């Protein structure tokens, strides 16, 4: 293709003027391609073409080889707004490639430019998250569902799928006092439900029971009214959350659980649906977190935040497969970098107002420095080291209702002290 021919001309140049002319033509062509990919996922059509795969092959080699070996160092591919993301998209769809071998062979074969036969160590993270799915919102959102996550490699953490999925306002009436939310403060999925209830001021509409932060090995989540700071189950005096599910013949065990006190049965145990129904059923209470006019932006953000950050932390920390752990690790920190860049330009995830996307992001970022950095083996950087992301964390934490629904001590005690040496770190 044309781009490869221009790169070869740079390689073959034997005097300064010829090199500069060829190099300028290379970057002029890259600028053209970057502009073409601003409003389309592929060069042509709805699926990758032969031309796309040819471009992928060239872009793959650019930072590995051409940038330094051919002195084409004006701009890295990752720094182009569209080409960098396009490369990630194409690479993750294609067959497995030995990138290190490609780099090594090229550098060792060129004794003229690399007479000491030293091969650079740097390699771009080609498994990092990308934004190209924005051209296919259905695929983006499908990739972030619990159902999609229920497929994994050997040793990969797989989250269970919730089975109780009724909605207030659709399947059940909107009634004050009818519904009861059961949560554990250490659970991030519970945290998002408690945050929404508190931020919207629904305490008079929806009662809430708080579980102990430790699960029993045999019986799961438990009420411990016998312990200081905890109350017994207010509805039935149950000891175990399983008792709620068993009373209606369900084999589920998870929280948060939204319970219908009138019908005596579950409403919903999927946190994403619980927080959406709270906002939809009571739109005039507190901030409107999922307004229809921002729904596309919210759903797009929810998708990659869930995949790479919310669930990504668990993919890293709970994996028993080194390769799976490392992939999740790199995707997680690439996503934090993306957030830090985003918050340099705007206050909240979807612009100038707080939305559901911020609520879903907060539990993971809130837990990160004191818990996940150690517990999930995500030790590259702390949130406090990201200037803009840490600013967002402070701003969100100061919103009305957030502090009341957040308990970092329960998080520390819930994540530590139950596995390994059973010790609770002093930091945090």
Active-site residue set: 187, 314
Distances (CA, A) of 397 to 153, 302, 332, 333, 366: 36, 19, 22, 22, 9
3-state secondary structure of 209: strand
Find the angle CA(17)-CA(19)-CA(23) to the nearest 5 degrees.
120
- 357 contact partners, CB below 8 Å, separation of at least 6: 297, 298, 301, 302, 305, 348, 349, 350
Distances (CA, A) of 299 to 148, 295, 308, 325, 347: 16, 6, 14, 26, 18
* Strand intervals (E) in 22-84: none
> How does DSSP assign 71-91, residue by residue?
---S--GGGSTTHHHHHHHHH
Strand ranges across the sheet with 257-260: 206-210, 179-183, 257-260, 265-268
CA dist 228 and 323 (Å) reads 43
Contact 230, 224 (CB under 8 A): yes
Distances (CA, A) of 266 to 161, 249, 255, 279, 348: 15, 11, 11, 19, 33
CA dist 114 and 94 (Å) reads 30
Task: Provide the token pair at 308.
Answer: 């790479």
Hey, how many other C-beta atoms are within 10 angstroms of the C-beta on 221?
23
3-state secondary structure of 351: strand
Task: Provide the token pair at 45.
Answer: 């059509």
Nearest to 247 by CA among 234, 260, 256: 260
Find the angle CA(55)-CA(58)-CA(61) to the nearest 5 degrees.
145
CA dist 181 and 177 (Å) reads 11
Nearest to 59 by CA among 72, 49, 47, 45: 72
Q: Are strands 206-210 and 265-268 parallel, antiparallel or unpaired?
A: unpaired
């Amino acid at each position: 293709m044309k781009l490869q021919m221009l790169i070869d001309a740079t390689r073959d140049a034997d005097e300064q003027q010829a090199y500069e002319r060829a190099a300028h033509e290379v970057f002029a062509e890259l600028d053209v391609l970057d502009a073409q990919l601003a409003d389309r996922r592929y060069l042509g059509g709805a699926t990758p073409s032969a031309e796309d795969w040819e471009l992928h092959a060239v872009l793959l080699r650019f930072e590995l080889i051409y940038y330094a070996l051919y002195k084409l160092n004006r701009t890295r591919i990752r720094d182009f707004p569209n080409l960098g993301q396009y490369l990630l998209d194409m690479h993750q769809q294609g067959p497995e490639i030995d990138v290190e071998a490609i780099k090594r062979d090229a550098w060792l074969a060129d004794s003229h430019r690399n007479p000491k036969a030293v091969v650079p160590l740097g390699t771009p993270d080609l498994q990092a998250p990308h934004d190209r799915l924005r051209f296919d919102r259905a695929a983006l959102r499908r990739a972030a569902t619990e159902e999609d996550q229920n497929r994994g490699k050997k040793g990969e953490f797989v989250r269970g799928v919730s089975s109780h999925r009724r909605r207030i306002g659709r399947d059940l009436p909107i009634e004050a006092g009818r519904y009861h939310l059961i949560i554990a403060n250490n659970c991030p999925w519970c945290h998002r439900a408690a945050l929404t209830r508190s931020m919207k001021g629904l305490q008079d509409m929806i009662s809430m029971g708080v579980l102990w932060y430790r699960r029993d090995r045999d019986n799961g989540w438990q009420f411990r009214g016998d312990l200081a700071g905890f109350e017994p189950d207010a509805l039935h005096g149950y000891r175990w959350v399983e008792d709620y599910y068993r009373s209606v013949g369900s084999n589920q065990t998870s929280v948060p659980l939204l319970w219908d006190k009138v019908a005596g049965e579950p409403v919903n145990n999927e946190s994403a649906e619980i927080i959406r129904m709270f906002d939809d059923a009571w739109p005039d209470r507190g901030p409107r977190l999922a307004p229809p006019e921002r729904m596309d932006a919210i759903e797009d953000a929810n998708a990659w935040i869930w995949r790479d950050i919310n669930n990504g932390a668990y993919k890293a920390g709970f994996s028993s497969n080194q390769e799976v752990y490392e992939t999740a690790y790199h995707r997680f920190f690439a996503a934090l970098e993306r957030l830090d860049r985003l918050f340099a330009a705007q206050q909240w995830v979807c612009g100038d107002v707080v939305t559901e996307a911020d609520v879903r992001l907060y539990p993971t970022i809130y837990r990160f420095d004191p818990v996940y950095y150690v517990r999930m083996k995500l030790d590259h950087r702390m949130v406090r080291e990201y200037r803009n992301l840490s600013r967002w964390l402070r701003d969100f934490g100061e919103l009305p209702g957030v502090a009341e629904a957040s308990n970092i001590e329960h998080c520390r005690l819930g994540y530590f002290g139950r596995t390994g040496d059973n010790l609770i770190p002093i930091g945090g």
